[in-house]
Homo-oligomer: A and B are copies of this chain.
Amino acid sequence: MEELLKHRFFYTVAYEIYGGVKGLYDFGPPGSAMMANLIDLWREFFILEENMLQVQTAALTPEIVFKTSGHVDKFEDMMVRDVVTSECYRADHLLEDALEALLKTDLDEEARKEATTTLALLDNFNCQQLGEQLKKYKVKSPDTNNDITDPFPFNLMFSTSIGPTGKFKGYLRPETAQGMFVNFFRLLEQNAGKLPFAAAQIGPAYRNEIAPRSGLLRVREFTLAEIEHFVDPLDKSHPKFASVADYVLPLFSRVRQKEQTGIEKMTIGSAVPKTVNNETLGYFLVRVHKFLIKAGVRPEHIRFRQHLENEMAHYACDCWDAEIFTSYGWIECVGNADRACFDLSVHEKASGKKLSAFIPLAEPRDEEILVIQTNKPALGKSLKGDAKKVFAYLEDIKDEPLKLKQLQDNAKGSQTVQIDGVEVPTHLLTFAMQTKRVTGRTVQPSVIEPSFGLGRIVYCLLEHAYFSREGDEQRGVLSLKAVVAPYKVSLLPLVSAEQLVGVIPRLVRLLTRSRISYKADTTGVSVGKRYARTDELGIPFAVTIDFEGLSDDTVTLRERDSTQQVRIKIEEIPSVVMKLIDEELSWDDVRKTYPNVSVKEQ
């Protein structure tokens, strides 16, 4: 398959003429068409159907943003070096390879059990634990068999310098999410101030992987499609949850990973909240599953694996990866994390810009709430220039009971209390309970984030789609679903006679009007060879123009996987193909409606 994908230029390692650069890939015409189709499907499935706010934010990011989000300190993998050659390796990959090799040897039962457990919990290890395991299994450098260093953290962000001074550090974003968090207040405004709502973004992201391998599956530059669904932290229900409650998902929970008992199929209705944290997260797991199947991933090759406690990103409080099975094993393709209010709260604190939302009550009601009363003139006199700052702060937090309570606790029994960096005499502040008309509450929204690695999904689709024609190992076919196939129709004159080739412009006009992509192949080679070409490109339907059809204005329509053909009027081609693409018609329906043509391909 790799050979076919390269030869037809689905994709190839980048800068091939210079020997290639690991972890960077270029998509050729069919690959970039597939990517564009997958993006279109994603936009329709998520952005349009769920009415999300799409944005496009900068990839270049100043240091303060990733310092605040924790990426500068914590977005890292553990690395080891060969002590002689200094070659770099990912510590967990070396341990994984060593354990897998070991398990292929003769082992007593206890050793086998231990190695298996270690392998299963690999993603859970911190730096020190990884070091201990590497020592325990005497792991060496794989290329030289030299000793390796202890593991140490390596930050995965590409850094650069923004502007001409060389002093303003920046990073290439490793995720598109931060661009949505820092714009939260503008997005909220576009949604008329109301929660919940979702922002979405499709764009490039960059991670400086230590030692990329596995082709398209681990790369340094990739296209992410990310959703940030902002929701009331006290109410993570989802209005459409009831409509999917009976949907069955293959869940591989934390518990079952530790027990090594495999996946469990259960309805999302029964999984929430004990297994899956909340309705909104559950709703998105269902939507992700449906999307992957719609794009063409085989259902039996999908599972949702919950992150282990130590494995979760620093910002997450629950996380389920949609994993797809490939020849490289189970591959994470969509991360579904509940990031809680982590990002908004750290950015609010660091920037001083309010990143919260007001949730009105259905009915305003009177409540006993904590208020703060200040002696303004006395405070003004005591604080002088700082008074304004303190008043503004107190005004800001007046609807935030938690912050007021905190301030009250800090003030208790002290002469002064710090307010926004200013020492304020406590005798000038009075805390009291007051009956107040409450119309709602101010919250820092929680964020549910489904994050799609589109390149990985493209790879999985290709791998799942590939098969060889029976009896001919050489004839590869990409059985891609029409919705993602790079082109929908190929146009093939049976032979390169002028009469037949002359029909093509008319077909092109008809297809273009219906916005159906096509590829005409008028080269002189046999039609069998040209069918083989269209099969390699995964084109689901072929229109063959033959002499027989010239008299009654017909052509034949061929279905890729079965190679069956029917005869059909030229003007009917666009509507029939459109219905086949949209799955309003099956190929069997078409065979029942139109005369079948018997063709023997060789």
Contact = CB atoms under 8 A, between A and B. Distances in A.
A133 interface: no
Contacts of A163: 22-23, 88, 208, 210
Contact of A27 (B29, B55, B64): B55
Contacts of A165: 86, 88
Given A14-B58, A54-B29, A160 B172 contact: yes
Interface string A62-105: 10110000000000000100000010100000000000000000
A577 to B, nearest CB: 17
A466 interface: no
Interface stretch (A140-148, A181-189, A234-242): A181-189
Given A55-B28, A164-B210, A179-B26, A18 B62 contact: yes
Contacts of A517: 48
Given A26-B55, A221-B59, A17 B164 contact: no
Contact of A29 (B190, B204, B351, B353): B190
A21 B182 contact: no
A interface: dominant SS: mixed
B9 A187 contact: yes
Interface of A: 8-9, 12, 14-18, 21-29, 31-33, 35-36, 48, 53-62, 64-65, 79, 86, 88, 154, 158-165, 172, 179, 182-183, 185-187, 189-190, 192, 203-204, 206, 208, 210-211, 220-221, 347, 350-351, 353, 355, 512, 517, 523
B347 A17 contact: yes
Nearest to A25: B58
Contacts of A190: 8-9, 28-29
A598 to B, nearest CB: 31
Contact of A60 (B36, B60, B164, B220): B220
A190 B523 CA distance: 12
Contacts of A172: 160, 172
B162 A21 contact: yes
Contacts of A31: 56
A16 B181 CA distance: 11
B208 A15 contact: no
